[in-house]
Chains A and B, each alone.
Chain A
């Protein structure tokens, strides 16, 4: 049985639908990200799990038990808010110990566990500090320690790193993953940052307009996007028009590509820029732009299929100049069939 099960979860604010028929199963110890653009219902989903927002329809099961009648204070979940929501009038130690105090845990154990939690998040020696005298990253650690110290059944993180600058964010991502691994708490992370979701998660739930677009491991979601939305939201992509023959093959610019499940008629397929190669036997194109990015080159190529984006690693091999005629090819396995419509 899955640790956490969301069944047909729905939530509307008046006429506006925030979350629509969301189904999700999360296994014990898993790290799952809810990824999607702002306003797609990620926070609402998390708050329904936490119990701060009521559920219109559907069920939330934790270890098989329905959470509907359990108030937030009794759910025993650890939550890190986007704003951290630390208690500004309490020291770091008081903040962290608050949840233990509410559980009636004795002073000695409380102090020990608070110290352990501070060591876990790398805040040794900050016990008497007030949150206001700490940097964003340190406050974030306090919030994490406060949520983890109660040994929560679930750890819910709402954009916990979005208030940090880029460098610190990357640092904290690694640390967050490592902490989560070491304590093994089932974790749900809300983020709009695809890099963060891919770097941290076992599985990603891509959401758009309150609906789930795709659920899968980061490399699957990235490499085999199910919809045009997913393909475009997770990094750069090329969308090519193709014609299916109804027998498991599609025709792209005269090339036959085997694609399981492709229907007959016009379809869209997506190929990542780094999976397009310059090779004889491909379709013809002309290089329009060439941008150096350090570790790689970004090439814009004009072809019959429209403008294509290619990524060439900066590996010492010659890079075609602007205006040069090239041949572009891709491996059939690198093409993903997009199920609905064309990419915008």
Chain B
């Protein structure tokens, strides 16, 4: 009897440590951040723990914040699109490779994840700077006369973030490609479908779940990315994450920074859950 009971409670005990970590490291700080966003702050009085909507009103009314959030989501959407456009075909090619070549290429693909984000982004800065390799190359080829501006521009940030985040898209799409019946392409071909028709009508609809989960990861990571926008965007090109960082560490206005962080989190959750619902309903039969 008692053995059966302890048997039944075992899962809870086993889940306990992870639950504690989750509670202690995620839920409590999150709750405190939300609370913090309602505190008052002044240049000389510092943080005052009394309830005010001041920070939220400031964010809602000051167009500067609107601009930063708009830029953040614009960059995230562009990065997600770029990852889909490049990553999906790349995953397909990877899936069709012979095992030997595949492991080599897979290593190249996830390479960016193995390099420290700072080193990688600095590499991009060297490459994309006005005296960087890309500009020198383009000028040497006579394609441009004046250097293109990548540094401190959204284009530069989008390129760098795409590079960092594309492995997530590729791995995610690849996982769903592997679940495909290897004969399904042959079946479509035998029925008279050409390469692009097979792609559009047979393969793509079946990897939608993979594309979606990849897109969610990429979008979330792009929207909350800090290092790449900080190094390539510089101080001029603020995104939500660098803005919150500035409020916390430069202005020392913690409550306002907390409000920015909470808003970013809420917006992300809403966008992700919303798009997930939408696509899930559209492709219900694929998701089972």
Name the interface size band of chain B.
20 to 34
Q: Please tell me if the beta carbons of B192 and A150 are within 8 angstroms of each other in the complex.
A: yes
Q: Does chain A have a CB within 8 A of B184? A: yes
A88 to B197, CA, bound (A): 16
Q: Please tell me if the beta carbons of B183 and A83 are within 8 angstroms of each other in the complex.
A: yes
Main secondary structure of the interface of B (DSSP, over half): helix
**A133-150, CB under 8 A of B: which get 1 and which 0?**
000000000000011001
Q: Does chain A have a CB within 8 A of B187? A: yes
A102 to B200, CA, bound (A): 13
> Could you say which residues of chain A place their CB within 8 Å of the CB of B187?
79, 81, 85-87, 146
A78 to B184, CA, bound (A): 14
Q: How many A-B residue pairs have CB under 8 A?
A: 69
Nearest to B179 among chain A residues (CB) is A88
Q: Does chain A have a CB within 8 A of B189? A: yes
> Could you say which residues of chain A place their CB within 8 Å of the CB of B23?
none
Nearest to B190 among chain A residues (CB) is A79
Q: Please tell me if the beta carbons of B285 and A73 are within 8 angstroms of each other in the complex.
A: no
**A50-89, CB under 8 A of B: which get 1 and which 0?**
1010000000000000000001111111110111011111
- B193 to chain A minimum Cβ distance, whole angstroms, is 5
Q: Does chain A have a CB within 8 A of B110? A: no
Q: Please tell me if the beta carbons of B192 and A87 are within 8 angstroms of each other in the complex.
A: no
Q: Please tell me if the beta carbons of A98 and B288 are within 8 angstroms of each other in the complex.
A: no
Q: Which residues of B in the span 247-288 have a Cβ within 8 Å of any Cβ on A?
A: 283, 285-286, 288
Q: Does chain B have a CB within 8 A of A132? A: yes
Name the interface size band of chain A.
20 to 34
A59 to B202, CA, bound (A): 31
Q: Which of B189, B190, B285 contacts A89 (CB 8 A)?
A: B285
A75 to B186, CA, bound (A): 12
Q: Does chain B have a CB within 8 A of A130? A: yes
Q: Please tell me if the beta carbons of A89 and B283 are within 8 angstroms of each other in the complex.
A: yes
Q: Please tell me if the beta carbons of B285 and A72 are within 8 angstroms of each other in the complex.
A: no
> Could you say which residues of chain A place their CB within 8 Å of the CB of B183?
81-83, 85
Q: Which of B194, B201, B285 contacts A88 (CB 8 A)?
A: B285
Q: Please tell me if the beta carbons of A76 and B192 are within 8 angstroms of each other in the complex.
A: yes
Nearest to A99 among chain B residues (CB) is B191
Q: Does chain A have a CB within 8 A of B175? A: no
> Could you say which residues of chain A place their CB within 8 Å of the CB of B205?
89
A71 to B183, CA, bound (A): 16
Q: Does chain A have a CB within 8 A of B217? A: no
A73 to B192, CA, bound (A): 4
- A69 to chain B minimum Cβ distance, whole angstroms, is 16
A89 to B194, CA, bound (A): 19
- A11 to chain B minimum Cβ distance, whole angstroms, is 16
A89 to B286, CA, bound (A): 6
Q: Which of B186, B192, B197, B206 contacts A50 (CB 8 A)?
A: B186
Q: Please tell me if the beta carbons of B186 and A87 are within 8 angstroms of each other in the complex.
A: no
Q: Does chain B have a CB within 8 A of A25? A: no
Q: Please tell me if the beta carbons of B190 and A73 are within 8 angstroms of each other in the complex.
A: yes
Q: Does chain B have a CB within 8 A of A296? A: no
Q: Please tell me if the beta carbons of A73 and B189 are within 8 angstroms of each other in the complex.
A: yes
Nearest to A102 among chain B residues (CB) is B192
Q: A73-B192, A89-B206, A102-B193 are in contact. List 6 more A-B contacts (CB 8 A).
A: A73-B189, A81-B186, A85-B181, A86-B187, A103-B192, A130-B285
16 A-B pairs in the complex with CB atoms less than 8 angstroms apart:
A50-B186, A50-B190, A52-B186, A72-B190, A73-B193, A79-B186, A81-B187, A86-B187, A87-B188, A87-B201, A87-B202, A88-B285, A98-B188, A98-B191, A146-B191, A147-B190
